[in-house]
C-alpha cells in the first residue's frame, strides 16, 4: 500500500532526556566552528585582491561547498535535538539528502579542479599564465557546479518518480540510500545509476588527482631549486591531506550501506564524521599550511 503521508519517522535518532543539553551544546558548537572557520576563509579570499589567483579562486568553492553540506546536516540535527519529535517532513528530508549529496560529489570535483591547477602551475610553469586565465577559471568552476547539479539532480529525479510505502528513516539524517528503503518499486535503475556516479567520481576524479600529484612529485624531485621544491611539496601535502581525509570517510560511508553486517552505530558515526570533520578541518588546514592565506587571515582577524 502506498504511503502518501508527508511525515517520516527518524528511527535512527534516539536520545535520552539527560543527554539533550550535552548533545545540543556539542552540535551547536561544532556548527558554529564550521561556519566561523569557513566564513573566515571565504572573506579572506574575497576581500584580498592579492588572493584573486586561480588556485585561491578554485579553493574558494571548497568552503562554500562545506557550508552547504554541514548546514544541511546540522540545522536539522539541532532542531531534532531541541524538539525530540523523531519526525521530519518528506520534503525537508529530500532537500537535506539533495544538499548532502551535492556536498559529497562537489568536494571530489573541486579537489580535482584544484589538482589540475597545481599540475599546470608546477609541471608547466611557463604556460600557467596563458592557460589559467580568468575565463578558463570560470569555465572550470562552472563545469564543476553544473556537472554536480546535473548528476545529483538526475539521481533524485529517479528517486522521486517511484511510489513510497515506508515511512521510517533508520539513519540520523536523510540521504539517497535511506530514501530508497522507503520505496515499494523496483530500484534497479536507481542502484545502477548511483553506482555509476560513485564509480565515475572515484575512478575519474581520484584517478586524475593521483595522476596529477604523481607528476607534481616527479617534477619536484627533478627541480634544482630547493625553495621551489619545498613550496610545491607543502602545497601538495596540504591538498593530499584534505583529499585523503574526505576519501577515507566517504568511501567507508558508501561501502557501509552495501554491507548489512556493519554496526548501525558505526555507520551513523562515519556518516556524521564525513559531514563534520572535513568542513571543520579544511579551512584550518588551508589557513595554517598556505602561507599567503595564513598571513591574510591574521590581517582580517
Tens digit of each residue's pLDDT (9 = 90 or more) over 59-110: 999 999 999 999 999 998 888 888 877 788 888 999 999 999 999 899 989 9
Q: Is residue 165 part of a domain?
A: yes
Selection from 26, 13, 22 nearest residue 84 by Cα: 13
Q: Mean pLDDT, to the nearest integer, of 173-179?
A: 87
Helix, strand or coil for residue 285? helix
Q: Is residue 1 part of a domain?
A: no
Q: Is residue 248 part of a domain?
A: yes
Residue 12: is its pLDDT beyond 70? no
Q: Mean pLDDT, to the nearest integer, of 243-261?
A: 75
Q: Is residue 2 part of a domain?
A: no
Rounded CA-CA distance 67/36 in Å is: 10
**Dihedral (C-alpha) 186, 69, 135, 50: value to the nearest 10 degrees?**
-170
Q: Is residue 74 part of a domain?
A: yes
Domain hosting residue 188, numbered range: 7-298
pTM for the full model?
A: 0.88
How many domains, the chain? 1
Choice between 52 and 220, residue whose per-residue pLDDT is larger: 52
Q: Mean pLDDT, to the nearest integer, of 45-72?
A: 90
Edge-first strand listing for the sheet containing 7-10: 87-89, 7-10, 168-169
- Residue 167, domain CATH: 1.20.1070.10
Q: Which residues of 124-135 are buried (b: 16+ CB within 10 A; e: fewer)?
A: eeeeeeeebeee
Rounded CA-CA distance 77/87 in Å is: 11
Rounded CA-CA distance 3/233 in Å is: 55
Rounded CA-CA distance 177/226 in Å is: 49
Amino acid at each position: 500500500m502506498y504511503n502518501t503521508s508527508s511525515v517520516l519517522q527518524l528511527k535512527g535518532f534516539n536520545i535520552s532526556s539527560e543527554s539533550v543539553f550535552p548533545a545540543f551544546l556539542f552540535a551547536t558548537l561544532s556548527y558554529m566552528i564550521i561556519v566561523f572557520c569557513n566564513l573566515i576563509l571565504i572573506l579572506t579570499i574575497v576581500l584580498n585582491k592579492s588572493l584573486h589567483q586561480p588556485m585561491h579562486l578554485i579553493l574558494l568553492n571548497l568552503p562554500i561547498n562545506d557550508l552547504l553540506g554541514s548546514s544541511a546536516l546540522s540545522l536539522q540535527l539541532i532542531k531534532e535535538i531541541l524538539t525530540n519529535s523523531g519526525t521530519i517532513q518528506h520534503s525537508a528530508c529530500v532537500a537535506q539528502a539533495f544538499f548532502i549529496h551535492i556536498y559529497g560529489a562537489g568536494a571530489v570535483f573541486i579537489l580535482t579542479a584544484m589538482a589540475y591547477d597545481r599540475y599546470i602551475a608546477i609541471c608547466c610553469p611557463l604556460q600557467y599564465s596563458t592557460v589559467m586565465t580568468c575565463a578558463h577559471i570560470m569555465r572550470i568552476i562552472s563545469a564543476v557546479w553544473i556537472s554536480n547539479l546535473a548528476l545529483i539532480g538526475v539521481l533524485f529525479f529517479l528517486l522521486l518518480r517511484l511510489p513510497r510505502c515506508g515511512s521510517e528513516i533508520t539513519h540520523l539524517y536523510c540521504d539517497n540510500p535511506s530514501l530508497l528503503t522507503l520505496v515499494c518499486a523496483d530500484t534497479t535503475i536507481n542502484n545502477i545509476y548511483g553506482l555509476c556516479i560513485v564509480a565515475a567520481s572515484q575512478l575519474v576524479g581520484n584517478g586524475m588527482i593521483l595522476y596529477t600529484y604523481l607528476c607534481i612529485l616527479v617534477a619536484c624531485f627533478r627541480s634544482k631549486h630547493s625553495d621551489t621544491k619545498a613550496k610545491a611539496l607543502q602545497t601538495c601535502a596540504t591538498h593530499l591531506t584534505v583529499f585523503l581525509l574526505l576519501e577515507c570517510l566517504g568511501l567507508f560511508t558508501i561501502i557501509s550501506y552495501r554491507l548489512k553486517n556493519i554496526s548501525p552505530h558505526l555507520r551513523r558515526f562515519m556518516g556524521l564524521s564525513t559531514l563534520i570533520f572535513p568542513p571543520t578541518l579544511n579551512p584550518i588546514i588551508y589557513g595554517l599550511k598556505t602561507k599567503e592565506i595564513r598571513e591574510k587571515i591574521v590581517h582580517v582577524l
